[in-house]
Chain A
Amino acid sequence: MPLVAVLLALVAVAFFALPLIGLLRQVPWRDLWDDLNEPAARDAIRLSVECSLWSTFFSLLFGVPLAYVLARARFPGRAFVRALVVLPMVLPPVVGGVALLYAFRRTDGLVGGLIYDVFHYQFTFSKWGVVLAETFVAMPFLVITAEAGFRSMDRRYEDAAASLGAGRWTVFRRVTVPMVAPALIAGAALAWARALGEFGATITFAGNIQGRTQTTPLAVYLLLEGNQDVAIALSLVLLAVSIVVLVSLRDHWFGGLRDAER
C-alpha cells in the first residue's frame, strides 16, 4: 500500500468526519428536548414526517409500475424516458423548484392555472405542494433501485406461475413484487430519506410557511439566524434519521462489498 494513498485517504476521512464533529460540538444537549418542543420545531418535524411519507407513498404508487415498464417493456424512446426520470437526481433542486413553479403555479403555470380553474386547488404554498416537490426529487431513487431489482430477478418463476394458469396481474402481485421486495424497500427508504432532506425545490416551489410548508430543512436554514439552538437541535434529528437509514440499508448496499472482502 503506497504511503501517499494512505495519507490522502486519511485526509478524505477527516474531511467527512470534521463537519460532523463540528455539528455535534454545537448541540445544546441540556436544552435539546425544550428546543425540539418549540412550536416552530414541532411544526417542522410533524410536517416533514407527514410530507416525506406521502411522497414515499406516491413514489411507490407511480414509481414501481414505471420501473417495471422500464425494465420489461421494449419501446422506442425508452432511453429518453429513463434519462427524463433520472434527471431530477442530478438537476440542482432549486432548478427543479423553478421548473415546477412554471408548470404548476396558479398564474401562468403550464397546467397550474387549469388545475385551479377545475379543482380550485393551488399546489404552491400548500402541503401538497411540498409533497409534489419532494416526490419530484425522491421518486428517481426508487425507480432506479426498483428497475435494477426487476432486471436482476430470475424470470423463470414468473414463467412457471404463468404456465400454472396465473393471470398477468396475479403473477405481478404474487411472484414479481415479492421477489423484488428487498429492492423496493431499499428504494423506498432512499426515496424517503431524500424527501425528508429536500430543501431547494421545496422552498422555491412551496414557500416557507410555518405549519404548512416549512419542513425541517427549511426551519434549520431560517432558524440558523433566529434561534440557532433550535436549528442545531433539528439538524441533529435529521442526522440521526440519516444514520438510521444508513444502518438499516447496510446489508442491501454493502452486502456486495462484504462479499468482495471475503
Chain B
Amino acid sequence: MSRTIRCWLVTLVVAGLGLVGAGGTAHAAPPHEARAKSTTTTSPKVSGEITVAAAASLTDAFTKLKTDFEKANPGTTVTVNFGGSSALVNQIQGGAPVDVFASADGANMQKVVNGKQVTAEPTAFVTNLLAIVVKPGNPKGVKSLSDLAKLDVVSLCAPPQPCGTYADQILTQAGVSIPTDHITRGADVKSTLSAVTTGDADAAIVYVTDAKAAGSMATTVLIPAWQNAFAIYPIAPVAASGNSDLADAWISYTTSAAGQKTLQSFGFLPPPPVE
C-alpha cells in the first residue's frame, strides 16, 4: 500500500519536473527571436541589470515603461525601487546600489548633485500638476483650495517629500492655512492618497497622475493652473553605477517618443521645452 503511494508520488514529482522543464523552454523561446530582431533596430546594444530609484508617483508609469524597455532590449533587467524622493536620496547617499535616480522635484535631485552622487547633468523628462482628491461624489462639496481649511482631516505628504513641498507651497500661495491638527502627513504620495481612498480623510493634495490612478476610489477637484505648482521631474545616472551604458539607455528611453507616449498615457505632461 505504502509502496504504491510512494511510486505514485515519485511519478507525480517526475511528471511535475517534466512540465516545469517544458514550460521553461517554451517561455525561453520568444526572447531569442526578439533579440535577433532588435539587434538590427536598436543601437547601441545594451545588456545586464540596473536598478532605478524612482519617485512613488512614477509607480504605475515606470512599471509599464520597464516592461516595454525590457521587451525592446532583450537581455536587460530593470529593477525599479519606488519611494518618496527624499527617502530615495537618503538611500543613495547611504550607498544603496542604484544606477538611475528619478526625482519628483529639483530640490531632492540637487541634494545628490551637491553630494556628487550624480555627476552627469540631470534631464527633465516629465511635468506633473497637483490636484485635490476627495471622497467619491465629493460629499463635502470641496470646490477650491480654500475649502480645505474647513475640513476635518486633510492628507498631505510630509516635506521634504516633493509632494509635501509642492502642497505646502500651493496652500501658502493661496493664503490657505489648514490647522496642523487637521493635517495627516503621508510618507509618500501613495500613502497620502490612500488616506482618502481607504481611510476617512476628507481630502488630499496629490499629483494629477495619482488622482487619475485612483479611478472611482476618489473624485478629483482640479486646482487652476495659476494656483498650481508645476512639478518638474529630473532623471540622472548615479555616479556609482556599474552599468552606465544601460543607465543611459533607460534615461534616453524616458525621453524618447515611445517612452513619452507611455508616460503621457498615465497623465504626465511633457517636460518644459528649454533644452
Chain A positions within 8 Å of B, measured between CB atoms, are 98, 101, 105-107, 112, 122, 124-125, 203, 207-214, 221-222, 224-226
Cβ contact within 8 Å between B181 and A225: no
Sort chain B's interface into a size bin. 20 to 34
Given contact pairs A107-B135, A122-B200, A225-B86, A211 touches B161 in the complex (Cβ within 8 A):
no
Cβ contact within 8 Å between B86 and A125: no
B172 within 8 A of A: no
Q: Chain A contacts of B153 at CB under 8 A?
A: 124-125, 207, 209
Chain B: which residue is nearest A129 at the CB level? B200
CB distance from B187 to the nearest CB of A (A): 7
Inter-chain CA distance A208–B159, complex, in Å, is 13
Cβ contact within 8 Å between B181 and A211: yes
> A-B pairs with the 9 shortest C-beta distances?
A207-B184, A124-B200, A225-B86, A125-B153, A106-B200, A209-B184, A208-B185, A212-B181, A222-B158
Inter-chain CA distance A105–B155, complex, in Å, is 16
CB distance from B216 to the nearest CB of A (A): 14
Q: Which of A106, A122, A208 gathers most chain B CB within 10 Å?
A: A208
Cβ contact within 8 Å between B198 and A101: yes
Cβ contact within 8 Å between B90 and A225: yes
Cβ contact within 8 Å between B186 and A208: yes
Q: Which of B180, B186, B191, B199 gathers most chain A CB within 10 Å?
A: B199
B182 within 8 A of A: yes
Cβ contact within 8 Å between A211 and B187: no
Given contact pairs A125-B153, A207-B155, A226-B159, A105 touches B184 in the complex (Cβ within 8 A):
no
CB distance from B77 to the nearest CB of A (A): 29
B147 within 8 A of A: no
CB distance from B156 to the nearest CB of A (A): 10
- Can you list 24 contacts pairing A with B, beta carbon distance less than 8 Å? A98-B198, A101-B198, A101-B199, A107-B135, A112-B200, A124-B153, A124-B200, A125-B153, A203-B191, A207-B155, A207-B199, A208-B184, A208-B187, A209-B153, A209-B180, A210-B180, A211-B180, A212-B181, A222-B187, A225-B84, A225-B86, A225-B158, A226-B159, A226-B160
